Amino acid sequence: MVYDVTIIGGGPAGLYAAFQAGLYGLKAQLLEASPTLGGKVVTYSERVIHDIGGQPSISGHQLIQNLQAQVQLYPLPLRTATLVTDVSYEATAAIYNVQTAETTYQTKALVLAIGGGMVRHKPWPLLAEQTYTNVSYVPQNPAAYHEQSVLLVGPGYNLMALAPHLIATAKEVHWIVAKRPFATEAEEQDFLTTYPQIDYQVQPILSYQQANGQLTAVTLANQQTVAVDTVVASFGYRRSLDTHTDWQLTPDQLATPLVQPIGQQVGTKIGVSLIANAFQEGTVAMATIAQQLHPTEKAPMVTTHNQDFDQINAAYWTAE
Same-domain pairing of 7 and 86: yes
Q: Give 203's pLDDT tier (boundaries 50, 70, 90).
A: very high
Nearest CA-CA partner of 215 in 225, 204, 223, 224:
225
pLDDT average, residue stretch 57-81: 93
CA angle 238, 17, 303 (to 5 degrees): 145
Point out the domain boundary residue: 209, 235, 261.
235
Q: What is the pLDDT of residue 118?
A: 62
Kindly report which listed range (35-44, 188-197, 266-275) carries the lowest average pLDDT score.
266-275
Other C-beta atoms closer than 10 Å to the C-beta of 241 total 12
Whether 271 shows a pLDDT value over 50: the answer reads no
pLDDT at 134 over 50: yes
Indicate whether 202 pLDDT > 50: yes
Asked if 221 contacts 107 with a C-beta cutoff of 8 angstroms, the reply is: no
98 contacts 105 by C-beta, under 8 angstroms: yes
Average pLDDT, the chain: 89
Residues 264 and 204 in one domain: no
Structurally, the chain folds into a number of domains equal to 2
In this predicted model, which residue has the larger pLDDT, 229 or 130?
229
- The predicted pLDDT at position 310 comes to 85
Residue 31 shares a structural domain with residue 137: no
pLDDT at 270: 45
Question: Do 205 and 264 fall into the same domain?
Answer: no
Looking at residue 174, its pLDDT comes to: 97
Last residue of a domain, one of 235, 254, 274: 235
Contact 265, 20 (CB under 8 A): no
Final residue belonging to a domain, choices 235, 259, 294: 235
Residue 180, CA distances (Å) to 184, 202, 231, 267 in order: 9, 7, 19, 35
| CA dihedral over 148, 151, 157, 163, signed as positive or negative | positive
Shared domain for 277 and 229, answered yes or no, is: no
Higher pLDDT, 268 or 256: 256
Residues 13 and 226: their CA atoms lie apart, in Å, by 42
Q: 179 and 230: one domain?
A: yes
Do 196 and 61 have their domain in common? Answer: no
End-to-end CA distance of the chain: 42
Of 87-91, 126-130, 148-152, 262-266, minimum mean pLDDT range:
262-266
- Position 264 pLDDT exceeds 70: no
C-alpha gyration radius of the chain: 23
116 and 166 fall within a common domain: no
Which pLDDT belongs to residue 269?
A: 47
Q: Which residue has the higher pLDDT, 268 or 93?
A: 93
Residue-by-residue DSSP string for the chain: -EEEEEEE--SHHHHHHHHHHHHTT--EEEE-SSSSS-GGGGGGTTSEE--BTTBSSEEHHHHHHHHHHHHTTS---EE-S--EEEEEEETTTTEEEEEESS-EEEEEEEEE--TT-EEEEPP-GGGTT---TTEESS---GGGGTT-EEEEES--HHHHHHHHHHTTT-SEEEEEESS--SSSHHHHHHHHHH-TTSEEEE--EEEEEEETTEEEEEEETTS-EEE-SEEEE---EEEE---GGGSB--HHHHSSTTEEE-GGG-TT--SS-HHHHHHHHHHHHHHHHHHHH-TTSPPPPPTTT-GGGHHHHHHHHHH-
Q: Are residues 263 and 179 in the same domain?
A: no
| Residue 268 clears pLDDT 70, i.e. is over it | no
Average pLDDT over residues 107-134: 85
- Domain boundaries, position 203: 123-235
Q: Are residues 206 and 224 in the same domain?
A: yes
Give the β-pairing of 95-100 and 84-90.
antiparallel
pLDDT at 157: 78
Check whether residue 171 and residue 189 sit in a common domain: yes
Mean pLDDT across the stretch 177-192?
Answer: 92
Give this prediction's pTM. 0.77
93 pLDDT higher than 90: yes
pLDDT at 66 over 80: yes
CATH number of the structural domain spanning residue 65: 3.50.50.60
- Quick one: pLDDT at residue 240? 61
Least confident range from 41-55, 129-143, 179-193: namely 41-55
Q: Decide: 31 and 6 in contact? Cβ < 8 Å.
A: yes
Q: Give the rounded percent of residues in the chain with a pLDDT score beyond 90.
A: 61
